[in-house]
Chain A
Amino acid sequence: MASLLMICRKAPYGTSYAREAIDIALAASAFDVDVAMLFTDDGVLQLVKGQNTDNTGSKNVESVLSSLPLYDVAPILVNEAALSERHLTTGDLNLPVELCQPGELPTLCAKYDRVLTI
């Protein structure tokens, strides 16, 4: 089975990139691709729990992200440096994640057949 590492770098709101990256991950999973996701840079903000978009008109990304395990998207990886730069810990996130260090990223990318960054 082919594997894909989807790297998410964009903040959840302000642009639709976060949504579109999730759509690609779900589409690939539906085509039997082994999908993992790595959240880094502002992308870690997508995972923060308790997001409220009632007054913005944006679609809330929290619910779709929390359903990723149901679609067999795993592991959900998070760059620990990106979290700590934003004064966040795993306790602030809405689903269980695996932490990785910036230095591990090259090895991590090499493990997957395809790497796509949005």
Chain B
Amino acid sequence: MKYSLLVLGSPQSTPAVRSALRFAEAAVASGHELFRVFFFHDAVTTGNGYTVTPQDQESLPQAWQTFGQAHNVDMVLCISSALRRGVVNTRESDRYKLQGANALEGFDLSGLGQWVEAMLVSDRIVTFGG
């Protein structure tokens, strides 16, 4: 079955991003296809490469990046949510003349149309957080 995930909650203060990762791992392990993971609202900070996680805790940005690269998952950060929260790639950093770029490799910044498309082509959509 083809799944897409909408992740809303902050990786620091809610379990949404971790729950979504566990679900994604289980879905892929069970032979399902993950069409797209769309990070929206506070969840876009999962793509912030400047996040430093205490050593005794799982780093969710790294864990998602590793999972995404291992399984070739399309991971999208909502561009308007990301810009408001200071998560930018080099393209947006140049456009707004910011000091640097912090979006992790493996995460794309794009618009809500990506989520609308994911809703239309997937058999199941699952929301985490909110």
A binding-site residues for B, Cβ under 8 Å: 2, 4, 10, 16-17, 20, 23-24, 27-28, 30-31, 33, 114, 116-118
Known: A17-B130, A118-B127. A33 touches B6 (CB 8 A): no
Q: 3 tightest A-B contacts by CB?
A: A27-B112, A31-B116, A28-B116
**B54 contacts partner chain A, Cβ-Cβ < 8 Å:** no
Least Cβ distance of B117 to chain A in Å? 7
Interface size on B, residues (CB 8 A): 17
Least Cβ distance of A104 to chain B in Å? 22
B binding-site residues for A, Cβ under 8 Å: 6, 8, 40-41, 80-81, 111-113, 115-117, 119-120, 125, 127, 130
Find out whether the CB atom of B117 lies under 8 angstroms from the CB atom of A116.
no
Find out whether the CB atom of B119 lies under 8 angstroms from the CB atom of A27.
no
